[in-house]
Amino acid sequence: MSASAPAYPHTPESGGEAARLYHAEHGCKVPYIDLSAPRPEAKSYPAAEAVPLPYPPRARTGFRADRPDGLGDLLALTYGVTRVEWGGGGVRAGRPLPSGGAAYPGELYLSAEFGLCHYLPSAHALERLNEADLRRQIVDALEAQPAERPRLILLLTSRHEANLPAFGGFGHRMQTLDTGVLAGQALALIDAAGAEVRVHTRFDEARLNRILGLDPRAESVRAIVTAGLGHDAPLPVPAFSTDPGANQAGIPRRIMARHTAADGFDAVSIPLPRVLEILETAAEEIPSDIRTGHGAEFASLDLYCVANRVDGLEPACYKRSAATGALGRVRETVDPRTLFPSGSDGELAHFQAACALLIVGDYEHGYREHGDRWYRMLNLQAGILAQRIGLSATGAGLGSMLRCDYQVKVADRLIHASPGRTVLVAVLVGLEHGVGRPGHRLLLGGYGS
């Protein structure tokens, strides 16, 4: 598939038919991934006014949206270049969040009082595309408009040439998961800064693309995050506290420490309470425009745990109860060890990990309500939950690894769910092998980092 292949979903709207076809052909199975495929240069606007942000950024929460330098820390922790990693005979820039194949097809734009800008992670700078305050026009393109004008609007796009050459058609689904991961990161940080925050998935995409000057055959808007007034002073972080505020202040620290457990896991048990805490954090309500309207109940995602070595749990598949948070054993249908293809990297990683947490959703019911775009809305939510799991596992001193290469049919039999519900992404969790790979950090350790 060429990098400029038509973006999913196809227009005109087909009530889910195009999404079903896409899923059957491309979205339901990870293809051979060509990681040597050419990578495009970073997106930049050389003709735009460059606004450097304070460097080095600090790992802390808090932002001011009325001037560019009030956003530097937030942008760096959301999507900057936060570490340098040597390994495998090479060096690469590490980012504060995962991306399928480390392709980072997402681009981050923002609209605030001082204009419309593109964030350039490598230079930690803003490129001002328009000096005008376009927040009103952007809000007008949203279906669920916030009551008050947001102080800050983040526009999350995906660029096809960044991951389609490596992933082929599956890259479109990967983009939606990646967008969810990025939205999840922004939600966590803005929420920790005490600001009202909401992710928008229903909007006039063509109109927003025009505002950004994007050619949708190359790059298109995938999600919008609106933020209210945040605090600018860092939150105090007591050494021991049950105060949720203290937990939020730990978000920058978790973001800085999070990375994929690339050296694998030690095959040892982890305590059940840690798993329950991670799942509870993941299951928190997503502040979004998704759960409004009819069919809202089908918007909910379910969480499952395929336990290998979790103290107090027999190795088996368990479903988390949304009501009580408890794990209930799923009737045995298939051997959980067959979740990943025999002989694959995934099988080995799964063998070492203490458990695989599965994020499960329903495509069919959502198509009735939201049409084709439900496909993206659902995968975006899965990405948000996956990022929450990664950050929460880091907070619990555990390693994590997102995976899409499980056997979908096995996974769907394993969860024994009602028809239509399917596994959207898997996150392996366990004690990371060795010392891990924190890399050389490029952020100053700020308060709460």
Ligand X SMILES: Cc1cc2nc3c(=O)[nH]c(=O)nc-3n(C[C@H](O)[C@H](O)[C@H](O)COP(=O)(O)O)c2cc1C
Asked whether position 289 contacts ligand X by CB under 6 A, the answer is no
Q: Which of residues 334-363 bind ligand X (CB under 6 A)?
A: none
Evaluate whether 182 touches 97 at the Cβ level (below 8 Å).
yes
Give CA separation, 204 vs 108, 120, 150, in Å: 18, 25, 18
Going residue by residue from 35 to 74, which x/- string records binding to ligand X, judged by CB under 6 A?
----------------------------------------
178, 191, 289, 432: residue in contact with ligand X (rule CB under 6 A): 178
Q: Which of 19, 125, 181, 299 binds ligand X (CB under 6 A)?
A: 181
DSSP string over 373-421: GHHHHHHHHHHHHHHHHHHHHHHTT-EEEEE--S-HHHHHHHHTPPTTE
SS3 percent helix, strand, coil of the chain, rounded to 5, is 35, 25, 40
Nearest to 290 by CA among 197, 183, 200: 200
Minimum distance of ligand X from residue 94's CB (angstroms):
5
When the beta carbons of 151 and 258 are compared against ligand X, the nearer one is 258
Rule CB under 6 A: choose which of 94, 194, 252, 430 binds ligand X.
94
* Closest CB to ligand X among residues 127, 178: 178
Amino acid at 14: S
Q: Which is nearer to ligand X, 119 or 406 (CB)?
A: 406
Smallest separation (angstroms) from ligand X to the CB of 414: 17
Residue 7: φ, ψ to 5°:
-75, 145
In order of 114, 138, 201, 220, 229, the CA distances from 133 in angstroms are: 6, 10, 22, 21, 17
Q: Are 92 and 102 in contact (CB under 8 A)?
A: yes
Q: How far is the CB of 401 from ligand X (least distance, A)?
A: 6
Query: Which is nearer to ligand X, 100 or 230 (by Cβ)?
Result: 100
Q: Are strands 265-266 and 421-432 parallel, antiparallel or unpaired?
A: antiparallel
Among 61, 82, 157, 260, binds ligand X (CB under 6 A): 260
Nearer to ligand X, 307 or 404 (CB): 404
CA angle 432, 433, 434 (to 5 degrees): 115
Peptide bond preceding 12 in cis form (omega within 30 of 0) = yes
**Closer residue to ligand X (CB): 59 or 195:** 59
**Least distance to ligand X, CB of residue 139, Å:** 29
Q: Which stretch binds ligand X (CB under 6 A): 115-123, 219-227, 357-365, 400-408?
A: 400-408
In the complex with ligand X, the residue whose CB is nearer, 16 or 100, is 100
Structure tokens at 43: 């997106």
CB of 80 to ligand X, least distance (A): 12
The binder of ligand X chosen from 16, 68, 70, 100 (CB under 6 A) = 100
Cα–Cα distance for residue pair 7/5, rounded to 1 Å: 6
Output 177 or 270, the one with its CB closest to ligand X.
Answer: 177
In whole angstroms, the minimum distance from the beta carbon of 403 to ligand X comes to 4
Q: How many residues would you count in the chain?
A: 449
Of the two residues 48 and 102, which places its CB atom closer to ligand X in the complex? 102
Give which of 262, 278, 261, 281 is closest to 270, Cα–Cα: 278
Among the candidate windows 129-137, 173-181, 293-301, 407-415, which touches ligand X by CB under 6 A?
173-181
> Which residue, 142 or 301, is less far from ligand X as judged by CB?
301
Look at residues 249, 282, 279, 251 and name the one whose alpha carbon lies nearest to residue 388. Answer: 282
DSSP state of 324: T
Site string for ligand X, 401-430 (x = CB under 6 A): -xxxx-------------------x-----
Under 8 Å between Cβ of 394 and 254? yes
C-alpha span between 155 and 414 (Å, rounded): 37
Largest Cα–Cα separation, the chain: 60
Total of residues contacting ligand X (CB under 6 A) = 18
432 counts as binding ligand X under rule CB under 6 A: no
Which residue has the closest beta carbon to ligand X?
A: 98
In angstroms, give the least distance from the CB of 86 to ligand X. 13
Least spacing, CB of residue 31 vs ligand X, in Å? 12
What are 108's strand-pairing partners? Answer: 156
Measured between alpha carbons, how far is 334 from 419 in angstroms, rounded to an integer? Answer: 17
Compare residues 259 and 370 and give the one whose CB is closer to ligand X: 259
DSSP state of 23: I
Phi-psi region of 440 (alpha: psi -120 to 50; beta: other; left: phi over 0): beta
Our CB check for ligand X shows the closer of 176 and 449 to be: 176
Cβ of residue 426: shortest distance to ligand X, in angstroms? 8
Q: Is 98 in the site for ligand X (CB under 6 A)?
A: yes
Q: Enumerate binding residues for ligand X (CB under 6 A).
A: 94-95, 98-102, 174, 177-178, 181, 259-260, 402-405, 425
